[in-house]
Chains A and B, each alone.
Chain A
């Protein structure tokens, strides 16, 4: 059975394609080094317009007003400038109510673009630009340690990793947060305190990595201005051992926290990237595989959620589970809970 994968890699070559939703301007060049917050492209996504009715202003039918329009599409005008008008003393005229650019002319209507709020496309990952798609974006490559997560609140930031506590099930509480953590990306096993999240935002920290978050805190986490990611999910679940070990090994180092929302179609997942230097060029992550004996897996649902183990036996589709459902399964030797029988659908490969 084809297996979903979560990547927890101490050494990987990542490539991220960052692309504008519309044509725009690419701001970087091949070979440029970028940080996660650097803008790599720009597009006009948030324009505002004013509709001017030349037909009504001049008192003419739409088909007769065209020849009185004195501007063309693309032309810039200042506030008060004549856009359309008839000749003669006291003749009716249409003037620009604000500075802008003529965006369109049609059927006696003139669309004036008055605001041009460019939308900048941030890199969201650190690295080097290795490919440019003219007018749309760029591909960034990063050699790094890499941990994929399951949930993020959409923000991103850079900062130094700071473990709070010494175990993967450490609970983050408000009394552990103080000004010494300012600018850090905090890591802990679990948080169930609203005050902790809010205080962290006030310090402010740069980001928060948790194994799990109390479900009732989800609306608050969504609103926080700093990135928050979860490695396991909602509830009270310790961070998985592989991720915790990797973070421990890089405690204090610079990292990028990209808490992007998951999009299975595009392959977007929240992630933590720890750039590495002088480590050569490791291969790119392996793509899809099937479940096999000896594979290292993570449990993604059930009482052992978050636990890591190794497949010791593959079981047929008729395997019966306590819920009464039958499904293909596996016997997995977990590091803590011993051997369990679990549906393959409730496992992920660790890549």
Chain B
């Protein structure tokens, strides 16, 4: 149905099935460039009472059809064909999914800090939950390990260990325990095995485990001690995830077949986009992508084309709020709420949200709680991701995120905030970037579609990314270091159209906006004071060339890192309001 991509431009429908919402998005060529044109949305139907995600897909497509006035559906099914002419159906279909429960995975490695760590990184890059881990340092008796494996009834076991010229007997010993345990599980319930260890052991592993269960083998994720290579294994994990989920989730296989293989986990699609965008950024600065979903939050970071991913299942804004609550003290949420609310009111809202994941905040109070919760969810996800960011990135302040040249954020709570300054503040408060960063808002929730469509027509992906479908909120300069309250920390001079503007002195505390209209280009000379670092080194300044203006121009986040919020409500309200006012231009 999709066929090969046409030499001329094509029209494309992208479908994204989430745990709460299913989206259908339409892309086509307008005046020689691909554009995002319209979207339909419907509640996801993967669970009760329908148990078939295609009902939600159909509803989303019907809405898309109504909006575009374009026939996408017919009696015989979806009108997708490479030969469809203009105005009828579309030429191609790409799909992504992030619905369904996380896979239960057991991870096996030799050393906790080496192979097991890499296996866990691999598993955490997908929609998986590690339910048990085994390594050589496991103090349990072998029979207890076997009993633990049997008790968890995992969906998948991922086995790593041994560099390509390294340990082999120890890997086989662990594999033997695994084999014993698997024989005790009834055949139909046995988990599949993914081997990502010593390449020289492939045949032995296949001989040992192949007769017992389905074994997948891919390249060693730790070919040497100092190299972790997750790419091929992550792709394989994505395919295995799909095949297991397809047995559990009604309609997933049919949707996959309809898409003729252009079918990705949502996190993988996000990762592709982030990795691609990182290739146009000067190393060692990186590209960060965050997708704040209802059930999961994905963090994708790429430096010079090297991608690291973390998919935090059970951490999100719908059912995933329970995961956030379990790791959070209430003050970590209420510190971001500018309204005086009783603790019980906040708790009631947060604990009810997972029961009704699709519900929306209708009052200013509820909105404030949701946006505060969103900050905490993202902060937790970023905190868990710190260990996967490369050590050789630029860290203007130890213990914080590295310098990201750009941050792209997706997820309705952030992208559909009633006011743009709310979106930007959620990102700045949650991620607390350091250095000089452009913030990009995925206001139409397109990033998954772009990632999935890239293999159909890379030009579509590139042109949609460059279009105003993704909103540039502005470039944020976030100095870090020892800064006295109220003292000057930075001087900035903008040069626009060859004209030098007055030097602006920035004092510690608060946010300040330097106007630069959307799309306008300027050069900035930034000179931090001693002990203040904007990414070039303490006290070191320089030119920042060709900064493109966004919705908020240039934003200087002089609040320091970490951002401190007063514990007393009056002072807190004053601060939160002043930050919002600074962005809204009041």
Contact = CB atoms under 8 A, between A and B. Distances in A.
Interface of A: 1-5, 21-23, 45-51, 103-104, 106-107, 109, 111, 150-151, 214-216, 218, 233-236, 262-267, 269, 285, 287-288, 300-303, 305, 321-327, 342-343, 345-346
Given A47-B147, A106-B179, A302 B363 contact: yes
B356 interface: yes
Contacts of A327: 360
B363 A323 contact: yes
A218 B348 CA distance: 11
B47 A266 contact: yes
A151 B184 CA distance: 35
B360 A109 contact: no
B248 A265 contact: yes
A150 to B, nearest CB: 5
Given A106-B176, A235-B348, A265-B46, 9 more contacts: A1-B59, A3-B43, A47-B147, A216-B347, A267-B47, A323-B361, A323-B363, A325-B362, A346-B359
A233 B49 CA distance: 20
Given A234-B348, A301-B360, A104 B49 contact: no
Nearest to B361: A323
A-B pairs with lowest CB-CB distance, top 4 = A324-B418, A267-B48, A235-B348, A264-B47
A264 B51 CA distance: 9
Contacts, number: 157
A36 B55 CA distance: 33
Given A288-B45, A288-B55, A323-B363, A215 B355 contact: no
Contact of B359 (A236, A262, A288, A345): A345
Contacts of A324: 364, 367, 417-419
Contacts of A106: 176, 179-180, 183
A50 B362 contact: no
A2 B40 CA distance: 13
A70 to B, nearest CB: 19
Given A322-B362, A345-B360, A264 B48 contact: yes
A22 B360 contact: no
A46 B152 CA distance: 10
A150 B353 CA distance: 11
Interface stretch (B138-146, B279-287, B500-508, B520-528): B138-146
A305 B366 CA distance: 13
Contact of B367 (A1, A47, A267, A325): A325
Contacts of B51: 267
Contact of B362 (A109, A269, A346): A346
B184 A323 contact: no
Contacts of A218: 351
5 contacts: A2-B42, A104-B180, A150-B355, A264-B319, A265-B100
Contact of A111 (B143, B359, B360): B143
Interface residues of B, number: 54
Nearest to B59: A2
A306 to B, nearest CB: 11
A301 B359 contact: yes
B43 A1 contact: yes
B362 A343 contact: yes
Contacts of A236: 348
Given A2-B42, A21-B153, A265-B101, A301 B362 contact: yes
Given A265-B100, A321-B362, A4 B43 contact: yes
Contacts of A265: 46-48, 100-101, 248-249
B363 A322 contact: yes
A46 B50 contact: no
Contacts of B55: 2, 288
Interface in B536-583: none
Nearest to B346: A215
Given A5-B49, A106-B176, A267-B51, A215 B360 contact: no
Given A2-B59, A343-B362, A325 B416 contact: yes
B150 interface: yes
Contacts of A109: 142, 176, 180
Residue in A2, A4, A23, A111 whose Cβ sees the most chain B Cβ within 10 Å: A2
Nearest to B63: A1
Nearest to A317: B41
B187 to A, nearest CB: 8
B360 A346 contact: yes
B392 interface: no
B227 interface: no
B363 A303 contact: yes
Contact of A235 (B150, B352, B366, B367): B352
A163 B418 CA distance: 44
A262 B183 contact: no
A47 B146 CA distance: 10
Contact of B185 (A22, A50, A300): A22
B351 A323 contact: no
Most interface-central of A23, A321, A342 (chain B CB within 10 A): A321
A153 to B, nearest CB: 14
A49 B358 CA distance: 45
